[in-house]
Amino acid sequence: MKLFPVVTIPWIVSFLSLLSFFPILIAQVNPVGVEEHDSGKEITIAVAANFKNPLEEMKVLFQKKFPHWKIITLYGSSGHLTNQIRNGANVNIFLSADLDFPNSLYDDGFSDSPPEVYAEGILVLVSNNSLTSFQNIEQILVSPNTKYIAIANPRTAPYGKVTVEYLKHLGILQSIEAKLVYGESVTQVNQFVFASAADVGFTSYSSVKANEMDWKDWKPLDPKKVPSLRQGKLLLKPQGPITDEKKLIMKQLYELIGSKELDPILKKYGYKIPNRNSKRKDTGSKRGKSF
């Protein structure tokens, strides 16, 4: 996929880019959890940025179910998290914003089982300005008053990739590409728009539902024009010997994510519930099905 040149915009974008780096570091060195755990009783989950709000709420339930275990969470774009896993990051469960990144890890032997869909995301447009005077999304994007449009990096963030496909479907990608500015993930897109470094931004509906930023306006997109955002989970192979107890806890936690028990949290944050009634479909892995 072609990645368009990044537009130079006010200094605040560079400042926000630096700020967005720190939450990942904090998550790594100061994980939230019950204190005084055995160092071996830790489960690390790498989570796509769009899913931070529901996952943080789920962690409260996780800690109640597994009180003697520390749940560590790492947040970032799916692509960057995938690279960290490939480079040796000690991650047990990966929650991606798509199926492509977990499939690539499965294909390369990082897991014994293919990824499964745990949620379906929704893409929306947000702004710090009123959008009521526009009749549709196209008018907003091509308007001369819209100078900067923030999207997540399509190379590393599935929400950014889907945004590009959506703009292609509208037939306006080339005409507005000079307006596009890129964030590392939807989290950084949210920061750009909230700080008025971008006029509008494409982000996750979950950000709107969580009141993550006090935006003045937002618009839903026509679902017929937006590719599916099926978000995949992957149970990763341990990097070394682990206890049978840890294997069991990893599997139980993996199965809990995306289960009916957590549907109320998914709905609260604007995610679609994946279809569990039919047999699991091929998720696109080159290795094929292993069930």
C-beta of residue 24 within 8 angstroms of C-beta of residue 75: yes
DSSP conformation letters of the chain: ---PPPPP--HHHHHHHHHHHHHHHHHHHS--S-SS--TTSEEEEEEEGGGHHHHHHHHHHHHHHSTTSEEEEEEE-HHHHHHHHHTT---SEEE-SSSHHHHHHHHTTS-SS--EEEEEE-EEEEESS--TT-SSHHHHHH-TT---EEEE-TTT-HHHHHHHHHHHHHT-HHHHGGGEEEESSHHHHHHHHHTTSSSEEEEEHHHHHTT-S--SEEEE--GGGS--EEEEEEEPPPSS---HHHHHHHHHHHHHTTSGGGHHHHHHTTPBPPP-SSPPPP-S-TT----
Residue type, 169: H
78 is in an annotated binding site: yes
**What is the pairing mode between strands 116-121 and 229-235?**
antiparallel
Token readout for 239 is 């990097």
Q: Output b/e per residue, 117-132; b: 16+ Cβ within 10 A.
A: bbbebbbbbbbbbebe
Residue ranges of the binding site: 78, 186
Residue ranges of the binding site for molybdate: 78, 186
